[in-house]
Amino acid sequence: MVELNALESSNVWKYIGMEIVKNDQNQRGVRIKNTDNLKQVYGNVHGGIIAMAIDAAMGVVVNEAIGPDQSAVTVELKVNYLYPVFDSDVYVYAKLVKQGKQLLTGTVEVLDEENHLIAIGTSTYIRKTR
């Protein structure tokens, strides 16, 4: 299992400004600090950044669920964008729905600072034995 702080230390996480967070229900996920560097031409957070955060949040819960001799990689990711995000940080919380022998599948909610649902996602990871 990858230590969760190792996820945060990766170059892409640092570049994007992503960090691991927990909500009031003790559910893990990630937060992305909103900056002008993450916005597209219309002034809202780029959809690719939101998709990356969905993948990262699932990566956090998957890494918590698998044993120390395993790793996992994304094999499927689906995003439904509901509303744009202009000035708010982005909070993404994931939960596992099914954990099989090979595949782990979960759902993800993307929220703004006022807890408005701005996107939803599903993701599937496959276990890899080292």
Q: pLDDT by residue (tens digit) across 37-70? A: 999 999 999 999 999 999 999 999 999 999 667 8
Q: pLDDT by residue (tens digit) across 77-99? A: 999 999 999 999 999 999 999 99
CB-based burial of residue 65 (10 Å sphere; 0-12 exposed, 13-18 middle, 19+ buried)? middle
Q: In whole angstroms, what is the distance from residue 36 CA to residue 100 CA?
A: 40
Q: In whole angstroms, what is the distance from residue 11 CA to residue 7 CA?
A: 9
Contact criterion met (CB below 8 Å) for 52 and 90: no
Query: What is the set of domains in the chain, with CATH numbers?
Result: 4-129 (3.10.129.10)
Contact criterion met (CB below 8 Å) for 2 and 62: no
